[in-house]
Structure 1
């Protein structure tokens, strides 16, 4: 029995490796650079954790999300394997302590974000460690063609110069052929061993359901499938609203988004992980590194940005091998809304140049000056001064960062800190005199128990939810307390830091990167078209569409997706006649047709599409279909 298999059995209690885990581990143990493409749930972490245990020294794991790092470290620690992470929000002294532990404490794993590699003193400390392996998780982030590109990932290749004899292991769950080639180049992998596994998840049924009443469809789906579920939405407000609606309907629900405090994220995550609630409603901030085998259903309420994101998010279901569902709900307005959200905010060359020039003017940088100048920067103030749309401007500045023209750090780190500076008795008296704010203040006191002892970061959205009011009212109550000398208030308004890496040259600078911008925009538009095609194509198996996107061909239809179910119905013609007969009586919505005829959503959609194509029916502005006279 190999040592790797002994480790697997001892710590993970599995009798055998999944294909091709053992081959990957052997390549790493032989000291070879390795590229791994395993679909979500394919067991990527074991591919670096087992070599990390076997090799003499510490395995450095570069990972993009705190949630992922925390989850991995916790799992290793439960197995009595010494692991530690450099997460955000810790002081320099705490970082030094972590690195000292790694150097002198026999730790086997050190997790850190790619942004940490931008701090030279941390890289210098890493050089003092006995590093045995460098693993890059979510490696698609290295490529500018990847769906979640992070500029800081480009710094990783410099570690090759510092650790030339140490193998690199790059792992990802979703990368097209173009991204694969690019990330191998960007990471400077030397003659890498390449391992790929099929993207096909035979136990997942991919369904696209068109409906104008998404909440009703969610209720129906969750009632039929009472197991653990994730509902993905596009923004924080929708997150909170949807969770509240589900709780009102009797489904145990919590939520997760990037604006929550670390404590709140962890509390909500555990509620769901421990099956104390059925559903977690989340933005795409949730998911990486979340390994929950019993997830039955993934529902997308809004269109995902691309098929890579969609595949990864749906892939968090069915990891126990049982049948699972990936359901994408769409309405008539979704494509227009998504285009506005994803495509309309892309800057063209003219807009980018204008932002760059105004950015220099904002900091009073003269032509030919500015090299290595550093400034605090508030995006909202900048956009307000020049009447720029925020998201389009943000994308412009991110592009300048990716091209190395500027370096952007700590975007959107604005926080509200407060501390009560009067005794608790006086706070109670203040509440009695300001009854309109009483519940808000009580929620702050209940949520943040240390607010009398220290300045405490406050999450206004959370307090608004707990006190059943709006974020605006919470902020007004906080400002009123500050004016009344009840609290000490501190607001960090500089939401980022900008360093200019080049002297100002205006048109010359932008012309140099114009082609990259045009290519990037074209790529994002193409990715969006693929999402639209996935939704609208009712003739090709959904599983086939996904596999083709990832350059994998398959002959057989899956038989369980929404398209295949329609194809396999023998009574489609009768369905069309039934729907036509019903609409000849009076107009009905798709949901009303479904209920009247006791047919499925897929059958209803099929019949309506057939009648629309035959030009026999039309749709009113109130989303009711009627038969043409």
Structure 2
């Protein structure tokens, strides 16, 4: 395509203005110019490589709004907040919002100044989104975590397959797909499923020169963890599989004198936020977490990431381990395991795929739990408590958990860990109508004035976040009285008030099916189980290898075959040590030979050791010369140095 005209500045000027960086990292600018020139673009950058800038900078050089598709609410909200802090108008539409809020967000993309709209892939197939998109001036469709579109990937989501249908509404709008982890099969799948045309692929090597990978068989993993943390100063992430274990290990580390906090999706928003902030601010050295931790967190000085439990696949391992050493300084990624852990990886794959009858039973129980009739309930959102749900229907907790995950993968529902959505309100009447209401209800006049004084006139045009405790302090009333007054105003359609939420959410993504005829893709599920077994086997091979360079193993997994050994992983260091010992032993033999048999020309000496590879011989001679144990005489022969 021909280069587009864009309204302002160069990529470097945009980068300096909004991010205060002077230059781009490798391949960032090339990807940015590809978008500017209207090309579909596939970008593969390792974790922490600066993917977001690659679609944010070109959008700020173009006119219109960028629709960003991302699967995680927490990541969505974090990106929007970051953009707003840089004074870039951005919004998100997610399951924590009501219809009125969604309406306003979409209107602002059509008529307002919003530059970035973050949505989940499920949102794209709604009639509302499709109709409003036709009215927007869209300059780019950015697909984050693009590997989710491929069944060959490690985090496949059927909802991503619907992006191509939405894209058909925007035939002239370029697409940028971004991911940190994608094999050759996944890359080809992304291009195919997104129907990418004139596609430009930009890929940075998955090699991390500063990151030392290790894997240790350890019967006492806790003691090995302690040893690592004592040897490697600085902040650390320790990944484990269960919420219970996060607390057990964090408590144990604190008893050993190492400050630690645990983190998982079941904590309240305040707990998660406080613990994350303490760790980022270096008030706590170690965070012990499930894989719920790390996405969207940019802490460059993490010195070690330790996997106390092995992950399910190398994609997840690479992404999590890659959170170490983003500042370019030496860092360590360590996996700890016992032989039983390797067997457990394959057993875990089987547990992930419960019997189809149980899937249907769980789906039916959900429909009963929320009283959702057949054919209705699409995109309805509900608070979800797994323990209460299982107790109500006599379902086994672990098997139900995996059943829900599989139903999610099949595209029937979406589960989110508990996330915090602050209280918010918006006035549904104009100034004149509100004034009339205050005259009719003088007892509420001062309360309404407090709301307006605290949250301003914006509350007439959009939802504003409120804090009931803060309102109470200014109104000199307990929180319960504030809540009563807010509900009173809501009942009379003066405001729309949404209390805060901090619970896991379950969303029905489709109209409810009749459970016995639930359209499960049985053949595809069986294929995915086979792929998951293959991925688990790759983790087993990676962990149990004691002679191959670990960086090379990871690179080959991601189809990079032209790299050299890293020299800093545990296996490379072990080989280096073995080589040094062998060289020292050979050097001793050569030294004794020269001492006992007199001077030799280098060629003659080589012949005496022709049973050994030449490079080993030369290495030993070089060592002896450097240590001045042998030297050349005037005839050019090697002699033993008596000194």
Is the TM value for this pair above 0.5?
A: yes
Tell me the residue number matched to 1:157: 164
Contact kept in structure 1, 2:67 and 2:141, CA below 8 Å: yes
**Secondary structure in 1 matching 2:339:** coil
Correspondence 1:164-313 to 2 at 5 A:
164-313=171-320
- CA contact under 8 A between 1:273 and 1:292: conserved in structure 2? yes
In the other structure, the counterpart of 1:520 is 528
* Pair 1:120 & 2:124 matched: no
Cα pair 1:233 1:302 within 8 Å, conserved? yes
Partner deviation per Cα, 1:85-115 (whole Å, 9 max, x = no partner): 3355333333333334434431222223334
Deviations 1:440-489 (A, max 9, x none): xxxxx9xxx99746899xxxxxxxxxxxxxxxxxxxxxxxxxxxxxxxxx
**After the TM superposition, which of the residue ranges 19-28 and 265-274 deviates more from structure 2?**
265-274
Native 8 Å contact 2:266 2:417 kept in 1: no
Change (3 A) 1:454 1:214: farther
Query: Could you tell me which of 356, 363, 383 is aligned with 2:360?
Result: 356
Tell me the residue number matched to 2:28.
Answer: 21
Name the structure 1 match of 2:92. 85
Count of paired positions: 498
For residues 69 and 382 of structure 1, what CA distance do their matches in structure 2 show?
Answer: 28
Please state how far the C-alpha of 1:155 moved relative to its aligned partner: 2.5
Q: What residue number does 1:475 align with?
A: none
* Contact 2:314 2:554 (C-alpha < 8 Å) held by counterparts: yes
**Structure 1 residues 335 and 572, CA gap change in structure 2 (3 angstroms):** farther
1:310: Cα distance to partner?
0.3
Q: Is the 8 A contact 1:541 1:563 kept in 2?
A: yes
Aligned counterpart, 2:146 = 139
| 8 A contact 2:363–2:515 mirrored in 1 | no
Task: Give the drift of 1:373.
Answer: 8.0
Does the 8 A contact of 1:117 with 1:152 survive in 2?
A: no
Unaligned runs of 5+ in 2: 1-7, 421-468, 485-500, 583-643
Cross-structure match for 2:102: 95
Per the normalisation by structure 2, the TM-score is 0.69
Contact 2:238 2:306 in 1 (8 A): yes
Q: Which of 46, 59, 72 is the aligned partner of 2:79? A: 72
**Residue 552 of structure 1: how far off its partner (Å):** 0.7
Q: Does 1:7 align with 2:14?
A: yes
Alpha-carbon RMSD across the aligned residues, in angstroms, is 3.7
SS at match of 2:168: helix
Aligned pair partner of 1:408 in 392, 413, 421: 413
Structure 1 residues 453 and 156, CA, compared in 2 at 3 Å: closer, same or farther? farther
Counterparts in 2 of 1:319-358, with a 5 A limit? 319-340=326-347, 342-347=348-353, 351-353=355-357, 355-356=359-360
Question: Equivalent residue of 2:216, what SS?
Answer: strand
Cα 1:359–1:79 shift into 2, 3 Å: closer
- Say if 1:103 and 1:128, in contact at 8 Å, map to a contact too: yes
- Tell whether the 8 Å contact from 1:68 to 1:290 is kept in structure 2 after alignment: no
CA distance in 2, matches of 1:226, 1:549: 31
Q: Structure 1: give runs of 5+ residues left out of the alignment.
A: 416-444, 457-489, 575-629
C-alpha offsets along residues 532-552 of structure 1, whole Å, 9 cap, x if unaligned? 001111111111110111111
Contact 1:41-1:319 within 8 A present in 2 as well = yes
What whole-Å deviation, never above 9, does each CA across 1:298-326 have from its counterpart, x for those lacking one? 11110101000000011111111111100
SS of the aligned residue for 1:280 comes to: strand
| Cα separation, 1, equivalents of 2:112 and 2:573 | 57
Secondary structure of the 2:91 match is strand
Query: 1:81 offset after TM fit, Å?
Result: 2.1
Q: 2:353 is paired with a residue of what secondary structure?
A: coil
After superposition, residues 372-387 of structure 1 pair within 5 angstroms as none
Residues in 2 aligned to 1:270 and 1:186: alpha-carbon distance in whole angstroms: 39
On the 8 A contact 2:95/2:507 being kept in 1, the answer is no
> Residue 343 of structure 1: SS of its match in structure 2?
helix
**Cα distance change, pair 568–526 in 1 and its aligned pair in 2 (3 A):** same
Which structure has the larger Rg? Answer: 2
Provide the rounded CA distance (Å) in 2 between the counterparts of 1:248 and 1:199.
38
Q: 1:300 to 1:494 in 2, by over 3 A?
A: closer
Contact 1:353-1:506 within 8 A present in 2 as well? no
The verdict on how the C-alpha distance between 1:525 and 1:122 changes in structure 2, with shifts beyond 3 A counting, is same
TM-score scaled by length of structure 1: 0.70
CA–CA distance in 2 between the matches of 1:532 and 1:85? Answer: 40
- The answer to which of 118-127 and 55-64 deviates more is 118-127
Deviation string 1:21-59 (CA, Å, 9 cap, x unpaired) is 111111101111111111112221111010111110112
CA distance in 1, matches of 2:232, 2:365: 57
- Counterpart for residue 551 of structure 1: 559
Counterpart of 1:541?
549
**Distance of 1:30 and 1:160 partners within structure 2:** 18
Deviation at 1:140, TM superposition (A): 0.8
- Name the structure 2 match of 1:317: 324
